[in-house]
Structure 1
Amino acid sequence: MDAAQPTPQLVKDSRCLTGPNLFFQQTGTVLDVSLPEVAAEQVIALWREQVQDLLDAVGWSESAPHVRGYDGGASLGFTAPTDVLYAATELNTTAWQAALAQLDGKEFDREAAVVKLTERLAKEHNPELLRLKDAAERRGVSFFHDGDRATVGLGRGSQSWEVKQLPDPEQVDWSAIHDVPTVMVTGTNGKSSSIRILAQLVKSAGLIPGLNSTENVQVGEVVLDTGDYSGPGGARMMLKDQRTEIGLLEVARGGLLRRGLGLSRTNAVLITNVTPEHLREYGIDCVEDLIAAKFVVTRALEEDGVLVLNADDAGLVEHAHTHPHPATLCWFSQNPDNPVLREHLAQGGRGCFTNNGQLIYAVGDQRQALLAVNDIPCTMQGAAIHNISNCLGVVGLAKALNFKTDTVIQGLTSFRSDASDNPGRGNLLDVGGVQVLIDYAHNVHGFEALTHLAKHLSAKRRLVMFGQVGSHTHAEICAMTESVARLKPERVVITEILGHLRGSQPGEIPEVIHQELRRQGIPEQVISKSIDGLEGTKIAMQWAESGDLLILILVTKREAVMEFLLSYPP
């Protein structure tokens, strides 16, 4: 849905927003532009003037311009009907061109622009789509469309049609259409694991979960497609599948900022944590901006919805206190004396926490010990503290969905951190007496959690294999490398990730890692380099002896590595 971009030296991105987003609740369009500080206010004022003039000319006077400034630029947008988002994006870029022309003292043919935009709007306008949308909203059921098909209701209660062959709303059997429960999970770490753990609880309840994630779109045991589907497209693919009985949506930063949410209403939301990552993209300059972006998921919460938040994350606590939300709050913490949690429970609120090795769910002064942390396989006897946190958040969601306690316990005790239940996240294999830990750690917080786990696993010697993608700063890569160095591994294998250079040069990131390892005191003779994760794994297995622990951090090549290990020795 990206439109042609004018003045490419100033415009960074022009896109449609197909759901609730960082800027407004409705669908719309946004233009990201670079602006020199000396001219920013003047250029933005000219754009406001031009875009309002064009909005008035096409009959959209009620759609007010929206500006979100950031360091070195701004996001310029406005709301627009869902059937004409391409035309809205063209109107926005036209207004920008007009503003630049006015700034430069050049002529701009307004009359020709209005004629062109009016023709584009008339061609794109779909009154049947809007009537179906209005009919669904009047009946309190969800509506969405993905360009080709329109859907009312969700999952088992949904029905879809080709956008060009929509029914008369009065002929639709609305008695058969309804929404299924949904939850959204976002945060920097733990999204995929939390979604998968919750899916296990859903199965324990005898229901069919649908989930979209960075790995795939899946309904029950059926994988609809593989790839990164953590954006609105994956959510809608899953939610229009009539087998879905509960929808579990992983909401990642990229899709949220590019397109908005895939759904405008949900029953519960979990925000796992927020740490600095991928800053300077889409006008997100600092962790406070990133937290605000993650909190966009709360725009979709129903009035009686539940917002589950990590009380051990200071940024989430601060944002929740300065931006209060009407939803019911459920705080979770690994510290039973966490002051935010204690105050919330004292006021009669909900909370999840661990105490004396037990996982506790509480409402006010009522405490319910669910089970021992060590009885949850994915916590690895409590060593995987990140999965303890994930389980606490999932319990908050499960209780929001009114799951029975027995169902929660059954789901948590049957979920295993292996390649079947949670591929690529904390998978521990025994390969001929060599322990192999495979993980997807991809930021500083993830590396710290993984190295904490590795320290608690018995090992004669340790090897760490890792690389990083080019979207991280050198400082972030050095911080991850420092976490590895604190393990004092007997061997380190640095991998290149050529498919994810993202602006860096081949060999650049491995060299940054190499130099930081040396700076941290890792001897030169124990460091190796490999072209990818598969070659690095082969190097690791050639070095390994029975009793060793190999920590393989894989962003890519996971399937090939698993196949190699499961057939080892060749």
Structure 2
Amino acid sequence: MDRIEALEDALTLTWAPLDHVRISDARRLTGPGMIWDHPGAVIDAFVQGDAGVVADAWGRHARRVLDACGWPQEQVATRLFQGGVNLALSAPMDQLYSAIFVAQTAWHLCAAELSGTAPQAFDAMIADLKSVMAQEADPALIALIRAAAEHDVDVLSDDDAVSIGHGIGAQTWPIGEIPTPEDVDWTALHDIPVAFITGTNGKTTTTRLCTAIAQAAGKMAGLTSTDMVRVGDDILDRGDYSGPGGARMLLRDTRVEIACLEVARGGILRRGLPTRRARVAAVTNVARDHLGEYGVNTVAELAQAKFAVHRTLPADGILVLNADDPVSVVEAAHVDKTICWFSLRSDAPQIVQAQTKGTPCAYLAEGDLIYFDGSTATTVMAVANAPITLGGAAQYNVQNVLAAICVSVALGIPWAAITSGLKGFRPDARDNPGRCNEFEFNGARVFVDFAHNVHSISAISGTLASLTAKRRYLMQSHPGDRSDEDIRAGTTAALMFRPDSMVAAELPNHLRGREPGDVPDLIAAAAKAGGLAQIDRAATPAIGARMILDQLHPGDVALLLVLSDRDEVFEMLQGAKAQ
């Protein structure tokens, strides 16, 4: 058994069951998140009744346990949500497994109080905790973290390694070979410009745009995303790397000069953000998606989670926000950072206010992309010259372009590179796979998109609805963990495309608790209710795509909403002409 396994299994704690309270497994917080910007541990308690009573008990018992363990400097926090409360405590960076047991011990005491039962002997529980803390304590890591702070450079640590600095200014050591501060060449270590990019929709495209712009500036740019970790053209690994693990992988690569990190809600809530040292952070928008997890039940709470990126910014950092997104406008009032707004409208209130106050913003005016630096407005380029916008018709991508301009300026990239990067970035399977990729197939126009929630489906369907077509074909699928309401709403949004025929495809690897056929049945019923008569079913998206491709004739338009089997679909279109 290795050290981590030994720590994970060091203690087995139990507590009195409560009929009105269900708790999640405690999880480690390694960086800034929704609740605060401290490392530590958090438990989600789902409460039938007054969650405030649970929060009050947590505040008292967690404080008592922390003090008894010798952590009087650590803090306690609660966050009430509809149906429950997040229970958090902070801990030293070298004691995060111990923090789990501290949290569980505090909950043991809470449960005893709330159930009216006797807890275990307090002193014995504290003695057990101190034993685990002694096993986990890593004075060398703490000394290195303190020294890095004195030298104003970042530290990234995990179970396997610790690194100082980022990219070309980084050095990494195995966790068992941490040097003393005196043995570190601090002159060789430094951070690099880092951008965090989050949002419900558009974050992957914006991250890719920012990376393309940085590469146009001659920089070795790296990105993390829901698809991969990439340095230049070198893909380090494929998969969903929108959490801290992907960020550490990228920021430890000594080739990287600029890093653009896509960060998703799940990673922020599970572990927190990987660094406190971003130069700029962007929130593309906030819309209904993935609600009901970690105590995030409303769109307003989702905004709080995504806006956690502002905790990574220094005093002079820039937070890039969408003035066309009402949820972001409301949440921005709670953030004390310099905001760079972007909008499709030059007369949006936030744009007008920014120009009046002399703060940065970007907007669309008479077909041009404009950036205002606080004193001077610069015409960046005509929106039609950015291929990703489809001549300006894809307004959601116009917003992504505006966000990328704001981020790139904050990263210090010159205008020539910004315009070059935008002009060279195409909506194809190479530059932006899965996002409005267009192909010509048998004289028909075929669009492949990864849109998976109502907001993104509405955007792509509404954009393509204006295209002239003899016949329109649509394929759609949904993962099984979406609610019936969300599946119906997503189908209704897809009907904005005005299809003549539709294929409802199963996602066999993403049933997530549903029976086979349930989701296609919901899609088909919603489509029929929306007035569509021709509805077929397919066992997979790849089969559904082939069904549609076999029917296409010159002048037709097809929209394939491909949530899985994307590579297979691209392979079918390989011989087609990419637009």
Distance in 2, matches of 1:393 and 1:42, equals 43
Shift of residue 506, structure 1, vs aligned partner: 2.2
Aligned to 2:511: 501
Look up the match of 1:53. 64
Structure 1, residues 373-422: CA drift from partner, whole Å, max 9, x if none? 11111111111111100000010011112221111110000001100000
Q: Is 1:176 paired with 2:188?
A: yes
Q: Secondary structure at 2:33's aligned position in 1?
A: coil
Could you tell me which runs of 5 or more consecutive residues in structure 2 were left unpaired when the two chains were aligned: none
Deviates more, 1:42-51 or 1:474-483: 42-51
- Paired residue for 1:370? 380
Q: In 2 relative to 1, CA 568–384 (structure 1 residues): closer, same or farther, beyond 3 Å?
A: closer
Task: Map 1:1-20 onto structure 2 (within 5 A).
Answer: 6=14, 10-20=22-32
TM-score normalized with structure 1 length: 0.96
Task: Tell me which amino acid in the other structure corresponds to 1:165.
Answer: E
8 A contact 2:52–2:80 mirrored in 1 = no
Q: Match for residue 142 of structure 1?
A: 154
- Paired position in structure 2 for 1:534: 542
Alignment of 1:151-166 (within 5 A): 151-166=163-178
Residue of structure 2 in register with 1:301 after alignment = 313
- The count of aligned residue pairs is 564
Selected match of 2:402 from 360, 378, 392: 392
Matched, 1:225 2:233: no
Q: Is the 8 A contact 2:167 2:252 kept in 1?
A: yes
- Alignment of 1:557 with 2:565, yes or no, is yes
Displacement of 1:567 in angstroms is 4.5
Rounded Cα–Cα distance in structure 1 between residues aligned with 2:380 and 2:99? 52
Pick from 529, 539, 554 the counterpart of residue 519 of structure 1.
Answer: 529
Quick check: 22-31 or 473-482, which moved more? 473-482
Question: Structure 2 residue aligned with 1:289, among 278, 301, 319?
Answer: 301
Partner of 1:455: 465
Cα displacement (A) at 1:98: 2.3
**Conservation of the 8 A alpha-carbon contact between 2:212 and 2:425:** yes
Deviations 1:516-566 (A, max 9, x none): 11111111xx10011111000111112211221110001111011111221
Residue deviations 1:290-337 (CA, integer Å, cap 9, x gap): 11111100001011111111111111112212x141x32211100111
Shift of 1:288: 1.0
Equivalence for 1:70: 81
Which residue in the other structure is 2:206 paired with? 194
Preserved CA contact (<8 Å) 1:64 1:78: yes
Tell me whether 1:435 sits opposite 2:426 in the alignment. Answer: no
Aligned to 2:331, what secondary structure does the other structure show? helix
Question: Helix, strand or coil: the match of 2:79?
Answer: strand
| SS state at 2:494 partner | helix
- Whether contact under 8 Å (2:45, 2:85) holds in the other structure is yes
Matched to 2:535, the amino acid is I
TM (norm. structure 2) is: 0.94
1:333 equivalent in structure 2: 343
Aligned-residue offset at 1:6? 4.9
1:315 pairs with 2:327 = yes
Measure, in 2, the Cα distance between the counterparts of 1:99 and 1:399. Answer: 50
Displacement after TM superposition at 1:503 (Å): 3.1
- Rounded Cα–Cα distance in structure 1 between residues aligned with 2:13 and 2:278: 34
Q: Name 1:480's counterpart in structure 2.
A: 490
Partner-residue secondary structure (3-state), 1:147: coil
* SS of 1:235 mapped into structure 2: helix
Report the counterpart of residue 255 of structure 1 in structure 2: 267
Q: Which residue of 2 aligns with 1:83?
A: 94
- In structure 1, the residue matched to 2:291 is 279
Question: Hey, what's the Cα distance between the residues in 2 that align with 1:314 and 1:69?
Answer: 23
Deviates more, 1:427-436 or 1:224-233: 427-436
In the other structure, the counterpart of 1:98 is 109
Give the drift of 1:34. Answer: 1.7
Partners of 2:190 and 2:436 in 1: how far apart? 38
Per-residue deviation, 1:13: 3.0
Distance 1:49 1:433 in 2: 70
Aligned to 2:227: 215
CA positional deviation for 1:5: 8.0
Letter in 2 for 1:254: G
Rounded Cα–Cα distance in structure 2 between residues aligned with 1:476 and 1:365: 44
The DSSP-based 3-state class of the residue aligned with 1:13 is coil
AA aligned opposite 1:119: S
Q: Secondary structure at the match of 1:304?
A: coil
1:487 is displaced (CA, Å) by: 2.6
Return 5+ residue gaps in structure 1 as ranges. none
**What does residue 471 of structure 1 align with?**
481
What percent identity do the matched residue pairs reach?
A: 37
